[in-house]
Amino acid sequence: MTGRKIETGSPLVLCEVSSHVATITLNNPEKRNAMSGNMTDALSELFLALDLDPEVRVLILTGTADAFCAGGDVSSMGGALAGGAAPDTDAMIRRLRHAQETVGLRLYNFGKPTIAALPGAAAGAGMSLALACDLRVMADSAFLLPAFGAIGLSGDFGGTWLLSQLVGPSRAKEIYFTNRRIGAEDALALGLANRIVADSDLQQTAETLAAEIAGFAPMALRYMKENHNRARATDLQASMEMEADRMIRTLQSADHAEGARAFMEKRKPIFTGR
């Protein structure tokens, strides 16, 4: 896919937009795309900009060099959270919370469908980022790994909540307690992957899926995602109330009128996001 290049402010993050699909590529191959340097700052700003970009309807998040993201850079993690100063527990907690909210939470709440395309390892916070996306396409050689327990850490970037939502609390605890490596086939069986493909087919599969989704009405997609995300934290009645609100708003949209006309005329609709 080639298209409009987006300046990210960091060589560790690449981005381009083509045919309504934005592709963000984590680009730290020497460290298996670990989150280091100014990568988190770049991602934070990029998620905001792409969410507001009317040309973007779907986001793909992937990584270079046969890896998705190895999580935090263990060699510099403590120093980065300390801000280059002597360790201060409260200040380090604030910095980590800020990074989590402006990257992990911002990705989860991104107002358009998101697809994680995993060419290889998604470990630690990298696994959390993959789980924060709406859909996951995994190469045969890709795997998910909590990784925290192996280095005496408890976990961050929302992985605890995200994994529990997807596989249930008991399985999620087991995966974290045992530092279980989840290959592509296991991920599919657990419901953590939507599709698994040959390594060589990953990019094309992710782009094809993104293009298919991008062909639908942007307002409807945004409200579908919002409905599903809110359903995790509310009851049936509240969900139905939200669905009614969003249904009527889409019913009154220009895209619905176009969709209805296209249906009657037996043609493919052309949605404009209005």
Asked if residue 52 has pLDDT above 80, the reply is: yes
Nearest to 165 by CA among 128, 139, 122, 115: 128
Question: Looking at residue 87, what is its pLDDT?
Answer: 77
Question: Looking at residue 65, what is its pLDDT?
Answer: 87
Q: How many CB atoms lie within 10 A of CB 257?
A: 13
- Model confidence over 130-159: pLDDT tens digits? 999 999 999 999 999 999 999 999 999 999
Nearest to 134 by CA among 161, 151, 116, 147: 116
Residue range(s) occupied by CATH 1.10.12 in the chain: 218-265
Q: Are residues 67 and 120 in contact, defined by beta-carbon separation less than 8 angstroms?
A: yes
pLDDT > 90 fraction of the chain, expressed in percent and rounded: 89
At 88, is the pLDDT very low, low, confident or very high (cuts 50, 70, 90)?
A: confident
Hey, what's the torsion of the CAs at 88, 94, 98, 99, to 10 degrees?
Answer: 30
Q: Are residues 164 and 172 in contact, defined by beta-carbon separation less than 8 angstroms?
A: yes
Provide the CATH number for the domain formed by 4-214 in this structure.
3.90.226.10
- Model confidence over 178-202: pLDDT tens digits? 999 999 999 999 999 999 999 999 9
Class of domain 218-265 as given by CATH? mainly alpha
Asked if residue 1 has pLDDT above 80, the reply is: no
At 76, is the pLDDT very low, low, confident or very high (cuts 50, 70, 90)?
A: low
Residue range(s) occupied by CATH 3.90.226.10 in the chain: 4-214
Strand-pairing partners, residue 59, are 22, 114
At 84, is the pLDDT very low, low, confident or very high (cuts 50, 70, 90)?
A: low
| Mean predicted confidence (pLDDT) in 235-253 | 97
Nearest to 26 by CA among 96, 93, 123, 134: 123
Show the beta-strand stretches assigned E in 66-213.
67-69, 114-118, 121-123, 135-139, 143-145, 182-183, 195-197
| Mean predicted confidence (pLDDT) in 31-57 | 94
At 82, is the pLDDT very low, low, confident or very high (cuts 50, 70, 90)?
A: low
Strand-pairing partners, residue 182, are 144
Question: Looking at residue 36, what is its pLDDT?
Answer: 85
At 75, is the pLDDT very low, low, confident or very high (cuts 50, 70, 90)?
A: confident
Read off the tokens for 28. Answer: 């730290």
Nearest to 227 by CA among 76, 73, 111: 111
- Model confidence over 53-63: pLDDT tens digits? 999 999 999 99
